[in-house]
Amino acid sequence: MMAPTIRVDDEVFAVLQSAATPFVDTPNMVLRRKLGLDVEKAGTTANSVPATQLRGRLWSLVEAGLLSANDELLWHRRQQNKTYTAVVRSDGGLTLMGAANGEHDSPSSAAREAAGYEVNGWKVWRHTKSGKTLDELWSDREAAQS
């Protein structure tokens, strides 16, 4: 079971971010604290799996050794003549370089911030070390598991 997605505007996100303890709090933990709810319950979802075990697909590539913390990802947009850079974090998230809100939990979130509209980050971000897109790395992971 997946947790619901809630989208917030930049002003609300900035308030959540300012109230968070960096590298400790999730947005859910901050909201639980502000709403007077038990923060200890923030580590579980409806299906009782600890949040630390709910890492995304990008983390699976780190676990498989196809990505490492501090690896660089590039997205070159030829028509705009722009190149965006993201760095893989040790928790499996991405930091979009040069962005006001550079911390992202998914490649698509980072691509959306860079582009200003919905983008499949798995198809646009390219791993500089391997030269492959994240989608291609995912296919390599799937093939290795078969």
- pLDDT by 10s per residue, the chain, length 146: 345 677 778 888 788 888 877 766 777 778 888 888 877 666 544 333 334 433 678 888 988 899 998 999 999 998 889 999 999 988 888 999 986 568 888 899 999 999 989 999 999 999 999 999 999 999 999 998 88
pTM > 0.85: no
Query: For residue 87, what pLDDT is reported?
Result: 94
CA distance 141 to 132: 12
Q: Where are the alpha helices (DSSP H) in the chain?
A: 10-19, 27-34, 57-63, 107-115, 121-124, 134-145
**Cβ neighbours of residue 133 closer than 8 Å, sequence gap 6 or more:** 122, 123, 124, 125, 126, 127
Query: For residue 54, what pLDDT is reported?
Result: 39
Query: For residue 10, what pLDDT is reported?
Result: 81
Q: In this structure, what token pair is assigned to residue 103?
A: 């911390």
CA distance 144 to 102: 32
